[in-house]
Amino acid sequence: MAKCRKCGQRKGKRACPALRSLICPACCGTHRGREISCPASCKYLAEHKPYQDRRALARASSPAPAGPGDDLLRDERLAWLALNIEAPFRELAERDPRFTDGEAILALEYAKDKLTRGRGRLILPGEERKPSNAAGEAVFQSLENCRYDRAVILVGAAEGYAPEDKLRVLERVIKAAKSWAGGEFGGRAYLERLREQFARLREQSRPSKIITPG
């Protein structure tokens, strides 16, 4: 039997439609949806995605420990980044009433995983692949494109964010989302809190120079 296309060591027992070759079960499970951009038609993706989602949400049910990061959003620049991270959920929640807190948390975890790895998913030449988590991809793109415009407060050019700042703020947002969801991942307590938060910011922005994302 041919060797695994990914590790080159174990036997390739599964036909991988993304790699167009055989892959071992271990590499399939480890790299599926991460380093390998799996098409929706892949039977292994369809079989194991619900299990992986349940594991991610089970981890999310354990509250993160408190620490200095709780105060980081007092920095206006970092608070602006947090708003941009969460901004895609406002539209998603309004457009799709079935979109839940659990899906939002999984999207945040997706963005964190992609940011931590520092590179996108593997895309084979000549093939188009859709992200395995559209909401997570929207969060990641918002995170990557966010710029802080100091002109809101004083004259100056817009500036980007260091990867370390992106990760710190993203982890803080994930912690807050888990806390607001309260373990009810099929509900929308966190999303409702976001809706109210953005509504307040809209009201505050009318007489002042505060600008909300989107």
pLDDT for 101 beyond 90: yes
What is the band of 150 on the pLDDT scale with cuts at 50, 70, 90?
Answer: low
111 versus 65: the higher-pLDDT residue is 111
What is the band of 156 on the pLDDT scale with cuts at 50, 70, 90?
Answer: very low
Residues 117-137: what's their mean pLDDT?
Answer: 58
Q: What are residue 147's DSSP bridge partners?
A: none
* Span between the terminal Cα atoms of the chain, in Å: 53
Q: Answer for the pair 46, 64: CB distance below 8 angstroms, yes or no.
A: no
pLDDT for 8 beyond 50: yes
What is the band of 209 on the pLDDT scale with cuts at 50, 70, 90?
Answer: very low
pLDDT at res. 68? 38
| Structure tokens belonging to residue 151 | 């002109």
What is the band of 112 on the pLDDT scale with cuts at 50, 70, 90?
Answer: very high
The C-alpha angle with vertex 77 and arms to 75 and 83, in degrees rounded to 5, equals 100
pLDDT at res. 50? 64
pLDDT for 52 beyond 90: no
Q: What are residue 159's DSSP bridge partners?
A: 148
- Give the HSE-up count for residue 88: Cα atoms under 13 Å, Cβ half-sphere: 22
pLDDT at res. 205? 56
What is the band of 127 on the pLDDT scale with cuts at 50, 70, 90?
Answer: very low
Q: Answer for the pair 36, 54: CB distance below 8 angstroms, yes or no.
A: no
Which residue from 76, 73, 85 is spatially nearest to 209, judged by alpha carbons?
A: 76
What is the band of 2 on the pLDDT scale with cuts at 50, 70, 90?
Answer: confident
What is the band of 204 on the pLDDT scale with cuts at 50, 70, 90?
Answer: low
Q: Which amino acid is at 174?
A: I
Most confident of 59-63, 149-153, 196-200: 196-200
Nearby residues of 15 by Cβ (< 8 Å), 6 or more positions away: 21, 22, 23
Positive or negative: CA dihedral 80, 213, 144, 63? positive
Alpha-carbon distance values, 48 to 20, 60, 63, 144, 183 (Å)? 20, 18, 25, 29, 22
| Structure tokens belonging to residue 126 | 């000549």
Distance of CA 198 to the CA centre of its chain: 19
Which residue from 96, 140, 134, 95 is spatially nearest to 117, judged by alpha carbons?
A: 140
pLDDT for 210 beyond 90: no
